A and B are shown apart, each in its own frame.
Chain A
Amino acid sequence: MSGQAGVGPAHAHAWERRADAALGIAASAILFSMMTLTFVDVIMRYVFNRPLRGAFEVTELMLLVLIFAGLPLVTHANEHVTMDLIDRWLSPRLRNALGRLMEALSAALMFALTWFMWIKAQRIAGYGDTTEVLRILVGPFVYFMVGMILLSGLIHLTRAFSAGPR
């Protein structure tokens, strides 16, 4: 269920490494808060009979942030699940070329997705959509999503063209 465990490529760009560190901290902070919020919510409900208002919605939004902050991390660490059966039948040169082509295709997909989600984000932000209980504006979260998908696309794109074996 997981890709090859591993660290990012040694020759990753400095901006990539910095983004990786920042997003790692963001993702872990979000996950920690998600856990704590659930815990506090249940305790408040059973012990003090006062469930937190809107804990549900906050969890939802945190999940959104967690997943999409995690996306560039997964891309950077090369942890997307792939089938690498074909590798043993290919010469290193062919494997390299195919790898780059697939990175380019992945980048194209991410950029297309960025565009779709950008349209969606504009629509949601335009309506001023909020959550039901706490009235949190949803728009910024969708824009965050768009940014993270774009970032993943950029990582794929640099991999398609940067030096070193793929």
Chain B
Amino acid sequence: MIEGLVALAGMILLCFLRIPIAFAMAITGVVGYAYMRDWNWTVAFAVVQTNVYETGRNYTLSVVPLFLLMGTFVARAGLAQELFRAAYAFIGHLRGGLAMATVAACAGFGSICGSSIATAATMAKVAYPSMKRFGYSDQLAAGAIAAGGTLGIMIPPSTLMVIYGVFTETNIGKMFAAGILPGLLGALLLCGAVQWACWRDPKAGPPGERASWSERWASLRDIWPVAVLFVFVIGGIYGGLFTATEGAGMGAFAAMVFALWRRALTWKTLYQSLVDSGRTTAMLFMILIGALIFADFVNITSMPADLKGFVTRFEVHPVLVVAAIMAIYVLLGTAMEELSMVLLTLPVFFPLIVGLGMDPVWFGILIVTIVEIGLISPPVGMNLFVLSTLLPQVPTTTVFRGVLPFIGADVIRLAILILFPAISLYLPSLMR
């Protein structure tokens, strides 16, 4: 137990000194491993060799760059504009309607894009100018975009679910199916948060114009590529037509064809899309490799067993255990980068959860929710940074304040998901 905690503290110290998190995890992992094996460096180095090589050459993981690429193409194709327009036509005339339309459009975009950051970044360009035009407060506008963007990793496809699936050997197709209902629930609760914000400050979200039914149907016609892509890729994976990797490859190809057809892709932007996705892939894989090395060390310490022993000895109720883990995550998530936080702690928490007889798919959905919350919790939340970068005219403190009601909505969703596992597990249970 002690050695695990010391290593964790050492790792966080290294991170604070601003060494890349991936490197910090790898260094602590190797040193820890050697220590556990009586300073036998040969075995420790073998752990590094295996993890670096095997992770690089892992067929399942090739889904990551392909989904990233699909998201980049979809963003380039400009489908976000149509999604926002359609959502606006239906609910724009309500109080806070544009903010709710933003959330709905984010949910739609999330169904073809597996990244929260890409969803928030794309929506910021589309939804913020409209909200400004109708006199929305910066607080509400920024909050809705940042929070709505996080739906990208809950509604399948999802890069995070893929990484969770590989890391814990959980079925990725089931994870995708499990994310659909919690994602919709999340969108609904975020709309609730919009209403709450408008109730607190009635000037924050004035209604937009009402659209006629013919305009509404017309706007729906424009979003058919999104529907087609979603049904094709997620439906194909869900129905067992192809594996997650194949689905990602097909999706990326189809998204590229859409982008080409809409003349949104030049040689230059094609190259840019490819190289951006490639770089993000490398960046994610470094974190993954670092975390795997660290996990190998944690697995030979007594930490996972000690924790399990503690829980069994005191006969803590499983739901309380989950709630405690989630509370730890919410706190850690305010200050830490979310992916590394999850990958660092999973080797300890995952065996505990499975040992208590809980469903790994359900736990995965909770983890995704936690990461969503972490992405928008100040001071360190990636989606907040993205908004501050894209909307330099909005002060960071305004973004921070604006996002608070949405964090509240996400915490409520987390509680609902903990109490009602069926919301996550119903759809995967129908899979063959």
Flag if B53 contacts A1 (CB, 8 Å): no
Within 8 A of A (CB), among B113-149: 115-117
A32 within 8 A of B: yes
Closest-by-CB residue of A relative to B249 is: A38
Contact partner, A81, options B61, B116, B337, Cβ 8 Å: B337
**A28–B337 CB distance below 8 A:** no
Q: Which chain A residues in 65-101 approach chain B with CB under 8 Å? A: 66-71, 73-74, 77, 79-87, 98-99, 101
Tell yes or no: A59 within 8 A of B by CB: yes
Point out the residue from A25, A30, A56, A87 that lies within 8 Å of B18, measured CB to CB: A87
Q: Is the CB of B282 within 8 A of A70?
A: yes
- Is there a chain B Cβ closer than 8 Å to A64's Cβ? yes
B279 touches A27 (CB 8 A): yes
Which residues on the A side are within 8 Å of B320 (C-beta)?
none
Q: Hey, which chain B residues are within 8 Å of A64, CB to CB? A: 56-57
A3 to B282: give the CA distance in the assembly, Å: 12
Question: Per DSSP, are chain A's interface residues mostly helix, strand or loop, or mixed?
Answer: helix
> Is A102 on the interface with B (CB-CB < 8 A)?
yes
Size category of the A interface is 35 or more
Closest to A20 in B: B275
Residues facing B in A1-41 (CB within 8 A) are 1-5, 24-25, 27-32, 34-39, 41
Once the chains are docked, how many angstroms separate the CA of A117 from the CA of B48? 9
For the complex, is A155 an interface residue (Cβ under 8 Å from B)?
A: no
Given known contacts A38-B245, A73-B278, A113-B52, is B18 in contact with A83 (CB within 8 Å)? yes
Q: Which chain A residues border B5 with CB–CB below 8 Å?
A: none
When chains A and B are docked, how far (Å) is the Cα of A75 from the Cα of B382?
A: 19
- Distance between Cα atoms of A24 and B273 in the complex (Å): 11
Residues of A within 8 Å of B379, CB to CB, are: 85
Alpha-carbon gap, A119 to B245, bound state (A) = 31
Our pick among B17, B115, B159, B337 for the contact of A102 (Cβ within 8 Å) is B17
A161 within 8 A of B: no
* Contacting residues, chain B, for A81 (C-beta < 8 A): 20-22, 283, 287, 337, 339-340
Consensus secondary structure, chain B interface:
helix
Which residue in B16, B26, B242, B278 is a CB contact (below 8 Å) of A109? Answer: B26
Within 8 A of A (CB), among B92-115: 115
Residue B422 lies at the interface, judged by CB distance under 8 Å to chain A: no
Q: Is A125 an interface residue (CB 8 A)?
A: no
Report how far A41 CA is from B248 CA in the complex, Å: 13
B283–A66 contact, CB under 8 A?
no
Bound-state CA distance A83–B160 (Å) is 20
Give min CB distance, A53 to chain B, whole Å. Answer: 15
Complex: chain A residue closest to B64, CB-CB:
A63
B397 is an interface residue with CB less than 8 A from chain A: no
Within 8 A of A (CB), among B330-369: 335-340
Q: Which of B168-176, B187-195, B250-258 contacts A (4 or more CB under 8 A)?
A: B250-258
Q: How far is the CA of A154 from the CA of B356 in the complex (A)?
A: 48
State the CA gap A104–B22 with chains docked (Å): 15
A31 to B242, CA, bound (A): 20
How far apart sit A86 and B66, CA to CA, in the bound complex (Å)?
Answer: 35
In contact, A1 and B337 (Cβ under 8 angstroms) = yes
- Which B residues have a C-beta under 8 Å from some C-beta of A? 15-23, 26-27, 45, 48-49, 52-53, 56-59, 61-62, 65-66, 69, 115-117, 159-160, 241-242, 245-246, 248-250, 252-253, 256, 271, 274-275, 277-287, 335-340, 379-380, 382, 385, 389
Report which A residues bind B (CB closer than 8 A): 1-5, 24-25, 27-32, 34-39, 41-42, 46, 56, 59-64, 66-71, 73-74, 77, 79-87, 98-99, 101-102, 105-106, 109, 113, 116-117, 119-120, 142, 145
29 A–B pairs (Cβ distance < 8 Å), ordered by A: A1-B115, A2-B280, A2-B382, A3-B283, A24-B275, A27-B278, A28-B275, A31-B278, A34-B66, A34-B249, A35-B66, A37-B249, A42-B250, A60-B59, A63-B62, A64-B57, A66-B281, A67-B281, A71-B282, A79-B279, A81-B283, A81-B339, A81-B340, A84-B18, A85-B380, A105-B19, A106-B19, A106-B20, A116-B45
4 shortest interchain CB distances as A-B pairs:
A38-B249, A70-B282, A28-B274, A80-B20
